[in-house]
Structure 1
Amino acid sequence: MDYYLLAGDAILVEEFAYGEDHVTVGLAGAMWSAGDTGWRGTGAFGQFLRTDDDLLSVLTPIRRDRAARVLRDLDGGVLPSELELRARFGDWVRFSNAAPLRLGSGETPQGYAEKRVYRVLFAKEPRAAQLAELSAAWRGSTPGGLPSGKGRAGNHLFTWNLRRVGRGIAWGLDVTMLLGLESPDLAGAVLRKLTADVRERGLVPVTTERFA
């Protein structure tokens, strides 16, 4: 689950649902605000706030332990377990699915079973210090100075980079995967880890798409 502090006096908890190919298929959440007697489902609010600059400006990604401290300090009591929070989600927002876009040749190099290309879209504008911190964590940057990285898990090979997309109005994490033969599919775990890396530096995940 993802936790956020909204306007300093509200806690927003969200969770994405993913399909078999690890693309986003749904979003749900719950929110508590100072003075509330309980948690309420956010429904489409989570999707809306990602398009509203005013809301994004007062939305801060945080970890569960900080959410628990803030909730206690605001006299909201003990933070419910994640199982209890899911029971307060209400309706899920469903994302439309389409077949993966085919960009480029998509040829799989010899020795690998499959090549995949994913993009995780993010809202909000990161600070320069946050981008520098991400470059340090990933131990790489593009020629333009934006964070990038590469890694291997078993016989899977992964490369990724953060970039501006949509004519500069959003950010995208592009991940290329060369999946090894007869190995467990680690694509989902890698995408979640990289998404968390970016989210912890202040950006807000919007959706995960597959391009190839």
Structure 2
Amino acid sequence: MAGDSHRAGLSATAGASAQPALDYYLITPETGPGAFPAEGLVVEEFVFAGDHRTIGLNTARWSTDDRAWQSSAAFGRAMREDPRLRARVAAAGRTDAEAVCHRLGGGELPGEATLRECFRDTLALPDSAPLRLGPEGGSRGGHDSRVYRVLFAGDLRLPGLARLAPEVITLAEDADDPRTRIAGTGGLRTARDVFTWELRRIGPGVACCVDLTAHLGTTCDDALRPLLRSLTTAIRHAGPIPVTIERFS
């Protein structure tokens, strides 16, 4: 991977340690053109193990039917398993979610601390310790090397990705060919760590993933959580919905 893939713009993200923001989604109606662009809101947050793999998912939704925030692990699962529902889900930032909440008659969108209090039925995700195929220690002389996979439900939407996340993913020349497995790459080098990642198709129209390789120069892995967050956010705003973050080594 060329040096221009090591994005300086991600350095601040990789070094951040602040409380992560929630993920926001708009639920659009099934009716045709002319309908209001949203009929509900969803907020989510993954639950992480100490090594940054996900072990649970919290989901809460607000709809014009219930007009109240309801915790719903079942809805979070359905967003990922039901293609028809997934097609109606659109990632949003908090500012857009606030505007839609007002327009739907839901009043002021609660603060994130209040929204987290709505999470009452966590969806447990498969959890297993990573399989190490070699000794402890980094392959490049560093302290440790790890491989993570961020799995997404849904197909890649390349126009959106090219527009929204060019600083995160450099698309392959033949990325629009559904037979191309590695659709894009990226990377980041800090003073002590080296990160590289690949955007992969898993099944046509079914799933995709980002495989992140981390070569850590010290015992500190604080850069991993915000970097995984940045990659997940970039892809989900281009269409696919994050399912889990696994650690392979």
Provide the alpha-carbon RMSD of the alignment.
2.2
1:120-199 alignment, distance < 5 Å: 120-133=150-163, 136-138=166-168, 140-142=170-172, 144-145=174-175, 146-166=183-203, 169-199=206-236
- 2:76 and 2:117 map into 1 onto residues whose CA distance is 17
What does the per-residue CA deviation read over 1:14-38, in whole Å, with 9 as the maximum and x for residues that have no partner? 1111001101111112111114331
1:4 is matched with which residue? 25
Instruction: Report SS of the residue matched to 1:83.
Output: helix
* Unpaired stretches in structure 1, ≥5 consecutive residues: none
- 2:93 and 2:54 map into 1 onto residues whose CA distance is 21
Instruction: Report SS of the residue matched to 1:99.
Output: coil
Q: TM-score, normalised by structure 1?
A: 0.90
Tell me by how many angstroms 1:138 deviates.
2.6
1:82 is matched with which residue? 112
* Unpaired stretches in structure 2, ≥5 consecutive residues: 1-21, 29-37, 176-182
Segments of 4+ in structure 1 off by > 6 A? Answer: 103-107
Specify the code of the residue in structure 1 equivalent to 2:24: Y
1:36-115 alignment, distance < 5 Å: 36-102=66-132, 108-115=138-145
State the identity %.
40
- 1:163 and 1:152 map into 2 onto residues whose CA distance is 21
134-143 vs 112-121, greater mean Cα deviation: 134-143
The answer as to whether partners of 2:44 and 2:60 remain within 8 angstroms in 1 is yes
1:102–1:181: structure 2 CA closer, same or farther, 3 Å change rule?
Answer: closer
What does the per-residue CA deviation read over 1:86-108, in whole Å, with 9 as the maximum and x for residues that have no partner? 11122111123112144689973
The answer as to whether partners of 1:103 and 1:211 remain within 8 angstroms in 2 is no
The answer as to whether partners of 1:135 and 1:148 remain within 8 angstroms in 2 is no
What does the per-residue CA deviation read over 1:102-143, in whole Å, with 9 as the maximum and x for residues that have no partner? 468997324311110000000122323123336622362346
74-83 vs 100-109, greater mean Cα deviation: 100-109
The answer as to whether partners of 1:120 and 1:205 remain within 8 angstroms in 2 is yes
What does the per-residue CA deviation read over 1:44-81, in whole Å, with 9 as the maximum and x for residues that have no partner? 22022201000001000101110010010111110011
The answer as to whether partners of 2:164 and 2:237 remain within 8 angstroms in 1 is no
Instruction: Give the aligned length.
Output: 212
Q: TM-score, normalised by structure 2?
A: 0.78
- 1:68 and 1:59 map into 2 onto residues whose CA distance is 16
1:117–1:143: structure 2 CA closer, same or farther, 3 Å change rule?
Answer: farther
1:44–1:36: structure 2 CA closer, same or farther, 3 Å change rule?
Answer: closer
- 2:220 and 2:129 map into 1 onto residues whose CA distance is 24
Specify the code of the residue in structure 2 equivalent to 1:22: H
